[in-house]
Structure 1
Amino acid sequence: MADKVKETAIEEAERIKALAQDVARSGAYLYPLKGIAYYVSHRSLWKPLVEKLAPTITLGIGILTFMFTFAYLPQAALLTLFNGPLAVLTTVLLVLSESSTLFNVLSKSFIIDEALVDTFDGTLVARNMTGIVADGREIKGGGDPMAKLGKLLKRPFARFTPKAIIRYFMYLPLNFIPVVGTVLFIILQGKKTGPNAHARYFQLKSMSSRQKEVFIEERKAAYTSFGVLATLLEMVPVVGIVFAFTNTVGAALWAADLEQHNTTAPGLKEQAKKAE
């Protein structure tokens, strides 16, 4: 039995080591930070956010106020039974996560969904990826990257589904485990956030569901590392809305690099069209 436990521990250590190496090699965890730097230095990309800033901030403040007024104390009392003194911190993180989820559901469904598409496409155009963007929208001549964006031909950012909400609440009990549970909760959220950030890219590449699954599986560690940092940034009260846009920029920069380094499967678009 002791040998079996030792063998299992070694195998798990090797798996974690390989995962960490994949994360380090991909550098995907840096793209949310690259997105911030690129966004700050490219004022033309600010237009979609500026146009939606007032209603979005109002929504964010409203959700945050509501959640900390009515949800913090009951959950803090419950988590105290499991986390002890750490409940103060874990409850704050939990309420921020819940608020972030509600905010994402409402804002991306009714306020900023099209603005995020514009930001993603505008970033690709700024990176001289106009050809791939042209598959998803009309491109106009002249002007800055945002001015070149014409009418949308495809709308990729699907609204939150009941399945996604159910999965979120299934993960909530993890927060009863001190520290480790909260970390696992954020990692699981990141596993979904990472691939979702490339929803527009997958559509522009005309990937089928199966092609997306394979593509994501081959880059599982990279997408998770991107998603974890993106999730943490969007959990920041109020200004999380800004990070939603910078994360979108980061995802577009990553997509541009994938294209430039030819890491997508050759002839993928042609294969997808034949499969239709």
Structure 2
Amino acid sequence: MPDKLKNMAVAEANSARAASQEVLKSGAYLYPIKGILYFATHKDLWGPFMSRVGRTFGLGMGVTSFMFFFTYVPQMAIMAFTSGPLAALSAALLVLTESATITNILSRSFVVEDALIDTFDGTLIARDQEPLVAQGRQLKPRSGGRDAVARLGKIISRPLARFTPQAIFRSLIYLPLNLIPVVGTVLYITVQGKRVGPALHTRYFELKGWNARQREDWIANHRGAYTGLGMAAFALEMVPFASIAFSFTNAVGAALWAADLEKASK
């Protein structure tokens, strides 16, 4: 039995090492950072975000207030066993993380869905991918000094999923991992990154016209890259009160990678 456990541990360690090497080799984890820089230097992409910032801020404040009122004390009591004298601070950080996660899901489903699509498509147009974007929406002529977002017309296809209670449950079920200092948070980000990475390219897959099998095969062949992309993006969206802003910069980063993939394939 000890030998079997040892072999299992070695196998898991080797698997984790190989996955980590694949993530690092892909370089996809850099695209959320590139998205921040690109968004900051291209004012024509700011419109969709600015049009939603007031409503998303109000939503975030409401969710955060609700969470602190109903969940802070119970979670502080639990964390007294794992964090000791730091329980109050640890519980506050956990509630902020939970609030950011819930706010992000609700805002994506009810407030910023179209704005994120516009940001993704506008970035593709700015990177000379008009033919790709034209597969999913109408485009206005390049005239009159129109910027990338101003050229966006009616959306033909709408890839982002609507809100379901299961979406929040799936996102929150792993939150207790954060009760484990450092290691737990890394595991939490890794698990969520595997889910978030492919989701960031849902619009790209829609524009490509791929069916479910084609998407699954593509993701499987680029698993490390999507995990790295998702981990970096999710870590940014965990930042309290800035999660929505990072949702937009992550959309830009995902679009930048899509544009690079298109150029590499030609």
Both structures adopt the same fold (TM-score exceeding 0.5): yes
User: 1:226 maps to which residue?
Assistant: 229
Q: Summarize the alignment of residues 176-215 of structure 1 with structure 2, pairs less than 5 Å apart.
A: 176-215=179-218
Alpha-carbon separation, structure 2, partners of 1:60 and 1:163: 20
Once the two structures are superposed, residues 76-122 of structure 1 have per-residue CA deviations (whole angstroms, 9 ceiling, x without a partner) of: 11122234345445423421221122212221122111000000000
User: 2:141 maps to which residue?
Assistant: 141
Once the two structures are superposed, residues 133-188 of structure 1 have per-residue CA deviations (whole angstroms, 9 ceiling, x without a partner) of: 00000011121111111110011111233332232343233334343223322222
Contact 2:137 2:153 in 1 (8 A): yes
Establish whether residue 150 from structure 1 lines up as the match of residue 183 from structure 2.
no
Distance change >3 Å, CA 257–CA 154, structure 1 → 2? same
Amino acid aligned to 2:208: K
Helix, strand or coil for the counterpart of 1:154? coil
Identical aligned residues as a percent? 53
User: 2:55 maps to which residue?
Assistant: 55
User: 1:251 maps to which residue?
Assistant: 254
Contact 1:105 1:159 in 2 (8 A): no
Distance change >3 Å, CA 178–CA 110, structure 1 → 2? same
| Cα distance, 1:125 vs structure 2 | 0.3
Contact 2:97 2:238 in 1 (8 A): yes
Aligned-residue CA RMSD (Å): 2.0
Distance change >3 Å, CA 173–CA 129, structure 1 → 2? same
User: 1:237 maps to which residue?
Assistant: 240
User: 1:78 maps to which residue?
Assistant: 78
| Cα distance, 1:75 vs structure 2 | 0.7
| Cα distance, 1:259 vs structure 2 | 1.1
Q: Find the partner of 1:160 among 149, 163, 170.
A: 163
Contact 1:191 1:224 in 2 (8 A): yes
Alpha-carbon separation, structure 2, partners of 1:19 and 1:114: 34
User: 1:110 maps to which residue?
Assistant: 110
Alpha-carbon separation, structure 2, partners of 1:262 and 1:178: 43
Distance change >3 Å, CA 89–CA 28, structure 1 → 2? farther
Contact 2:32 2:232 in 1 (8 A): yes
Q: TM-score, normalised by structure 1?
A: 0.88
Distance change >3 Å, CA 55–CA 166, structure 1 → 2? closer
| Cα distance, 1:260 vs structure 2 | 1.2
Q: Summarize the alignment of residues 33-52 of structure 1 with structure 2, pairs less than 5 Å apart.
A: 33-52=33-52
Amino acid aligned to 1:115: A
Alpha-carbon separation, structure 2, partners of 1:95 and 1:135: 41
Alpha-carbon separation, structure 2, partners of 1:184 and 1:262: 33
Distance change >3 Å, CA 87–CA 221, structure 1 → 2? farther
Helix, strand or coil for the counterpart of 1:128? coil
User: For structure 1, which segment, 154-163 or 31-40, has the greater mean C-alpha deviation from structure 2 after superposition?
Assistant: 154-163
Distance change >3 Å, CA 85–CA 258, structure 1 → 2? farther
Alpha-carbon separation, structure 2, partners of 1:28 and 1:68: 35
Alpha-carbon separation, structure 2, partners of 1:189 and 1:79: 22
Q: Which runs of 5+ in 1 are unaligned?
A: 264-276
Distance change >3 Å, CA 222–CA 87, structure 1 → 2? farther
User: For structure 1, which segment, 92-101 or 124-133, has the greater mean C-alpha deviation from structure 2 after superposition?
Assistant: 92-101
| Cα distance, 1:262 vs structure 2 | 1.6
Q: TM-score, normalised by structure 2?
A: 0.91
Contact 2:100 2:241 in 1 (8 A): no
Aligned length: 263
Distance change >3 Å, CA 92–CA 225, structure 1 → 2? farther
